[in-house]
A and B are shown apart, each in its own frame.
Chain A
Amino acid sequence: EVQLVQSGAEVRKPGQSLRISCKAFGYRFTSSWITWVRQVPGRGLEWMGRIDPTDSYVNYSPSFRGHVTISADKSTSTAYLQWSILEASDNAIYYCARGIAVDGIRWFDPWGQGTLVTVSS
């Protein structure tokens, strides 16, 4: 079964750093991009960026570039999302999703279960 399993909920203070993970099972990790999506509680979905695990090329949304870093480790089939300096506005649920592309047709499937990040002093 293809699935993405994310790391557990995290609580941090503003200014601290954090790295959350997304581990892939059931498919060849380098065959698909991994995308990260933010959801502020009660709000919609925002695309943050994506990584090609083959060569770790990253494509960031302008809204998130410079604030987060997306990376991947082929040896463990795991993608990461990290912050060097967390802000209160980073309070959200973060989802990873497998980006599938076939003949120019693209979609996300499956999604991870989500990681809740709480930033509070």
Chain B
Amino acid sequence: QSVLTQPPSASGTPGQKVTISCSGSSSNIGINTVNWYQQLPGTAPKLLIYNNNQWPSGVSDRFSGSKSGTSASLAISGLQSEDEADYYCAAWDDSLNGWVFGGGTKLTVL
């Protein structure tokens, strides 16, 4: 049982916009920033969004992040087949004094 809650799966067709949610609590998302990681099949996770809505160098602006209260969202616009991956949210938890992850969302491009 992950501390942050994500839907296990999401899907869309090429060109569509998909949104993945991440729900936490007052000790993590409520007071700390959220990061998103993309894990392509058979590879290591890669930073996708940091500080709720910032792009690392080289990441497409088709990916966008937002945060409100104790929840965060990752939106992927103009869906492409290469976006098929697992997506994880993460935040520091002040009560646990450690990092917490969501359970991951498997994105399928139909």
A residues apposed to B, CB below 8 Å: 35, 37, 44-47, 49-50, 59-62, 95, 97, 105-114
Contact = CB atoms under 8 A, between A and B. Distances in A.
Interface of B: 2, 32-33, 35, 37, 44-47, 50-51, 56, 88, 90, 92, 96-104
B1 to A, nearest CB: 11
Given A44-B2, A59-B97, A61-B98, A105 B33 contact: yes
Contacts of B88: 44-45
A62 B104 CA distance: 21
Which label, helix, strand, loop or mixed, suits the secondary structure of the A interface? strand
Contacts of B50: 105, 107, 109
Nearest to A105: B51
B104 A45 contact: yes
Contacts of A45: 37, 45, 88, 90, 101, 104
A106 B98 contact: no
Contacts of A60: 98
A60 B37 CA distance: 21
Q: Of B50, B56, B99, B104, which is in contact with the most chain A CB atoms at under 10 Å from its CB?
A: B99
